[in-house]
Chain A
Amino acid sequence: MSTTESGKTSTASEASDADAVTGDELGAAGSHLSTAPEEDREDRGPNLPRLGVIGWVRWFWRQLTSMRVALILLFLLSLGAIPGSLIPQSGVDEMKVQTFKDAHTTLAPVYDKLGLFHVYSSVWFSAIYILLFISLIGCIVPRTWQFVGQLRGRAPGAPKRFTHLPASVTWRTDTEPEQVRAAALALLKKRRFRAHVAGDAVASEKGYLREAGNLIFHVALIVLLVSFAWGQLFKSEGGKLMVEGDGGFSNALPMYDDFKSGSLFDSDTDLTPFSFQLDKFVGTYERTGPNKATPRTYRADVTYSVGADGKAQKTAIEVNKPLEIDGTKVYLNGHGYAPTVTVRDGRGKIVSRQAVPLLPIDSNVTSTGAIKVMDGYRDKSGKKEQLGFNAFFVPTFAGSGKGNMFSQFPALDYPVLAVSAYHGSLGVDSGIPQNVYQLDTSNMKKFKDSKGELLKERLRPGETMKLPNGAGSITFDKDIKQWASFQITHQPGTGWALTGALAAIAGLAASLFIQRRRVWVRAAPGADGVTVVEMGGLGRSESSKVAEELGELAAHLHEQAPSAADPRPAVPAEGAEK
């Protein structure tokens, strides 16, 4: 290109939107410049449904697949998504929903009826997006056929009058019309227009990728939704808490603490075989400054092996770095302390030594839990009995005399374990599922201290609390372990979802950045025998630069068919309009 400016364009009227120009004035030349449905013309609402059931169905289908309804459905979809972001959702936080229900006794039942506590799985929300996707399919299929037809066909012939086009050029030349047409054809083809000669003019079109991109985008949306739905149906998700050095976890249903799965999930075949164990958990925290105690790193060092008896490998799982094995991902999602306690009976025999995971109740890892001795303990008289201890643990104790014992810092700076002791029956055999972190004291008796109150003591690592009357002792060992909890999820179809998403972006970019446009070049002898060249451009897309492109093409053609040495300005063959 040798020019710096592409012809003169009269500024403000750079017609961009050919829709209004197409149709009537241009006839066939302006037709099918896109595959967008031409509705609004078929505004035949009231007088259509005279056609019986089939007519109704057709009418309904046409409405559903119209752009206007797609627009309304889209709008409803975004409107419908709003309540779910403002009202607590049971799928996200069941506790919050309960709190909300307790606080709003009149509103909550209404909300419940409307499905507002699970908006995204509610009937009405599903209705919106299912309708939208039916509409989408109903839109894509005919448009695809239409597009294929357009690809097979050729650009429509030139309109009668180029002056009706958004941009046009004309000049007179001494070159023969055939030569001009041949030059124009070559020029347009070189610029990758699909061009052919039709009568006395060259017709050409370019930018089909716009439509292709648009179709790809809309198809990709379907792929995205289907793979997401697929993933939901086959997904599995479970939690597992592990103490450092504990025996491993292998991926089978009984090993999970809790487990959820999609409705088509099959636990026999759909669980990836692997196993892993927690070697060490590392947590570091901000030591100084206004954000003191804010966590900085959480890392779980684990050993894992793939398959039934794979080689053991070491790796670290961090908050943003799950361990991925064959599409199953292991996420680190919680941590806490598991103090080791040793319980001895009256004769000093160890009846239990265990690292007891305790649940954090605040961000400084103040933790509570229960230490249970199920069997192996006999009291002085040799009778079998169970022991239970309520445990309260702080990794960093502020010092005594400060009221309640709450942790001051999440790291193990000054750990203290407070225990209170019970004996009797833990109630574990009653068949009712038990919370491992809580002690059910309904069938237990308190150990009493010298004042006759519940025996309790704050222990430092290594210290021991004696049970009264030689009933034994409990020791807070120096070895304080940490635990980490893992979420193990498997959701198939994410690869497809990702592919769909990327295709959607690519298609979208093509559909928004590529312009579809037509250029015609007519060369015919004028009244005085001199060849009149007319060029016209038509674009449908809003950001078309039809005029500029036409100016450039004209300049190139002009080089091969220079203006005739005629002093007066050329006049278009059929006379300028107005």
Chain B
Amino acid sequence: MLHSLPKLVSFSAVVIALIILKRFADRHSGEQFDERQILYRQKAYANATWMAIVFNIFIFIEGDSLAKYLSLSFVGVATLFLLVGVFAVSSIYYNAYFAPRKKKSFVVLYGLTFFLQLVVAILQWRDGDFLRHGQLYLTAQNASCALFAFTFGIILLMTAYMTWKEKHEVEE
């Protein structure tokens, strides 16, 4: 029991840090978004949670057959990225993600992150990091960069689509 105490403490510290970060982000983002945007951000949180639940139910049902290709740690990390990705995409769809003042700098930051993670993922692929005994096997360690690049790629694509749509939308 005692040997798992440090892990439990560090896990609690991470959870507390996430809660503080979330409250801090909410307090500051509330000033930048209007009432409709705040409402849709809340809906986006709900969408992300439902997607994570559905994904985990799928893993629960298909776990035995997927165990050849995925580790448990990968499922955990994939769930986290799924939460972030669905929240961001849902919010962007309702124009409630990037605050207008910060949009450009954030898009540049996201673009840079996407590019760096993509390069690392390609290098990992070239080195055969995704394989175990000649077969595809994803873990949190080897797939994090690929998941990062994939999630940020989807977010950037959605941003590009909504920016294009906004430009072509004729004000009635």
Q: Do A and B come from one complex?
A: no
Residues of chain A whose beta carbon lies under 8 Å from any beta carbon of chain B:
none
Residues of chain B whose beta carbon lies under 8 Å from any beta carbon of chain A:
none
